[in-house]
Structure formats: structure tokens, C-alpha cells
Amino acid sequence: MSPRSFALAVLLVAIVGAPAFADARTQAKEQVEFGIAVAQRGLWKEAMYRWERAAEIDPGYAAAYNNLAVAYEHEGRFEKARKAYEKAIELDPKNSMIRQNFDLFKEINDRTKGRDDR
Amino acid sequence: MTAQRVATIVSGVLLVALAGCTSFYEIAVETPIQPKLDVSGFQRVLVAGFIAGGTEDVDTNLETVRLLRSQLQSKSSLKVIDADVLPLMEIAIEQSKTPTETGGAADGQQEAPQQITKIKDEKDLQNFERIFANVNFWKRIGEEYQNPLIVTGTVLFTPHQRSGFVTREQEVWDTFGRRRTVPTRTYTERKGFILRPKFIFIDGRTGTTMYSESFREEILYSAQQNTPALSSYFELMDRLLPSFLSTLSTQKIRGTRVLLK
């Protein structure tokens, strides 16, 4: 394959794939926003479900994992919270808000070392 | 249209635009901390008494029992047994005279408790610690109170003095009369107290120790300040009560996190 045809192929994939990606992100964002709205009303289980859905729809969406981690933390599921925070940081390493959440979580998690993750 | 009106409209538009662009929300969370001990097998808790030492200004055994009982009454699901406080120090001395009792007679390594009239430091306390390993004794106490979870241990509350440099904020005014604060280091004589409790949780059904945890808290005041020992004791106990309670019951830690869009 010549460099020109390779570049053309890449461009084609980008053009065809872009709407699909944007669509997944839009759907995931809707789930995330709904999750935030219900979490603000104290409905954490519902929020957790929404953010899990968002992460399934768009596995590259850092905000979904961050929010999911907060929900797990609120429910006392520390191991799951840690994994979700780590995933969020992996996806968006420069996001200071995710890092701040994770630092606060670690502070509490250190106190509970040796206890069950329920 | 006046300039003021334009400014109002512009700030309104900006506010609406900002609200639309908000990509994060601060939210209050309550993180549940699971208890360190599984106490599901107990319905009742007996705060039996403590081997206490240090200052004579506070009856540390009595005050610790009273404080822990009242905290457990309001913050744990266990029924708190209201019984006389055990004079553990006297019991330990008695036990050391009877060699047949487990953890009784002195083994030559430590000073026999009957030779100690007053507990002044941690070394003195160690001589009494064998009482906590006396399974038969605690089993008997357990039988007497229908197999509760027994809370006991040692509490050392000692006066303390320390002198050294302390950094303080000092007010200064510049030539224009503006006030500002600058950190200054001054040599200060300070006095206060150190509280060293060790909480031991004993299974009243078997007499064996399930868990124990030690703490150390310290408070210092200016040497001129006259703070009663009892106030200092409560101030220090107040710091470690959440840790004590989290051994037996689920505690919730309040905080805030950021949700992202």
C-alpha cells in the first residue's frame, strides 16, 4: 500500500468512525448527567447503575469511572472504588479533580486496611 | 440603555452560559467504615474497668468506664451493661498472690504487682498486664453477665512538660498603618498531659482476647494557663473516641467529592 492510499484509508476510517464515537459519547454523557441528577437527590444506587451503563457504552469516558468510583465509595465498596478511580486516572491522567477525589479516598481507605470490602 | 443595564444583561448572559458549561458538581458523601471487629455474636457489651495510672487528679478508671459506656449507648447497637466498675488493679494484685491462677504468679522477669503501690509509667503498667491473659477470670466475668463482649485495658494519663520554640502569628503595622501578621518563633515553656490508653476486647464466652489497640494523644498548653486535668482528659479522649467506636460499629465519614460530566 502506497503512503497516499494508506493516508486515504486512515482518513476514511476517521470519517466513518467519528459519528459512531460521538454517538457513544453522547449516549454515555446522557447516562452520566442523569446519574448526577439522581445522586444529588440521594439516589446513589440508581446513579451507580447509570454510571455503570455509561462506562459500558463508552469505556474511554473518564468522568463515568470517576463518578462510579464516588458511588462505590459512598456504598463502602472500597476495592471497586479504587479500581474505578485508577481507571479514571488512566484515561485522564491530567485531571486534577479525579486525582483529588482519589487522594481523599485513599486517606479513608488507609484507615480501613484489613477490613472486608462489602 | 444605560451602562448599568448593559452590565446587568451581560452578567446575566454570562451566568447562564457558565451554568450551561458547568462540567463538575461537588457532592456530599458519607463513606461507611466497616467495624474492625465482628461483634454480630454479641448482644451485650460490658465495659468492665481499666488498670489506670498517672496523675491522681483524675480517677482514670472510673472516668474511662463512664465515658465509653455513654458513647456505646448512643453509638452502638449493643446493649451496654450497667455494672459496678471492676477495681482491676486490686484484682491483679490479688491474682499475683495465687500461683495457680493463669497469668498469676510473678515469673521473675517482672516486678510483682503487689510491690507496686502506684502506677507512674508504662513500665509499671506492664506488671499488671497479665490479668488480661487470665482466660478463667474473664470467662467467669462473662458467665456472670451472660456472655457479653468485654471491654477492658489500661489507661495511663500523665502530666507532661516541654519547652522549646513555638511559631506564632504576630500582628504588625507598617508605616501606612496597615495590619499584617508575621510568623515569629518564641521560646515557650509548655505543660499538659499525655493519654495512653490500650483497649482490649475480650470474648465473654471464652475469656480470650479478640482484639486490642493502643493510642497515644498529647496536649500542651502555655505554662501560665491553668487547665484542669479532667478537661484535658476529655479533650484527649474525644480525639480517639471515633477510632474506639469504629472497632465495634459502622462509622460514617462525611466528606465531599467531585462528580464530572
Going by pLDDT thresholds of 50, 70 and 90, the confidence category of residue B123 is: confident
* Amino acid B7: pLDDT: 57
CA distance to A49, A52, B160, B169, B223, per residue, from B189 (Å) = 59, 58, 11, 18, 6
Band of pLDDT at residue B119, cut at 50, 70 and 90: confident
**Which conformational region is residue B168 in: left (phi greater than 0), alpha (psi within -120 to 50 degrees), or beta?**
beta
Mean pLDDT score of chain B: 84
Residues of chain A contacting residue B35, judged by C-beta atoms under 8 Å apart: 115
> Which residue of A51, A101, A106, A110 to mutate against B (max B Cβ within 10 Å)?
A101
A104 pLDDT more than 80: yes
A100 at interface of B, judged by CB pairs closer than 8 A: yes
Fold that domain B35-159+192-260 belongs to in CATH: Rossmann fold (3.40.50)
Query: How many pairs of residues across A and B have Cβ atoms under 8 Å apart?
Result: 63
Smallest Cβ–Cβ distance between A118 and the set B31, B34, B259 belongs to B34
Q: What percent of chain B has pLDDT over 90?
A: 48
Q: What is the pLDDT of residues B86-117, one digit of tens each?
A: 999 999 888 887 765 444 444 444 555 556 66
Using one digit for the tens of pLDDT, what is the confidence trace for A14-64? 554 555 556 888 999 999 999 999 999 999 999 999 999 999 999 999 999
Chain A contacts in chain B segment 20-59 (CB below 8 A): 24-25, 27, 29-36
Grid coordinates given for B161: 512538660
CATH topology of domain A3-116: 1.25.40
A58 close to B (CB below 8 A): no
| Tens digit of each residue's pLDDT (9 = 90 or more) over B187-233 | 888 889 999 999 999 999 999 999 999 999 999 988 888 889 999 99
From start to end of B119-246, where are the E strands? 149-173, 179-203, 209-214, 217-222
Higher pLDDT, B45 or B180: B45
Residues B26-43 have pLDDT tens digits of 999 998 888 888 888 999
DSSP assignment letter at B134: -
> Chain B contact for A73, CB < 8 A?
yes
Q: Are B170 and B184 in contact (CB under 8 A)?
A: yes
Domain ranges (residues) in chain A: 3-116
Spatial distance between the Cα atoms of B119 and B89, rounded to a whole number of angstroms = 9
pLDDT band at A9; cut points 50, 70, 90: low
* Residue closest to B191 by CA, chosen among B229, B163, B233, B230: B163
Domain ranges of chain B: 35-159+192-260
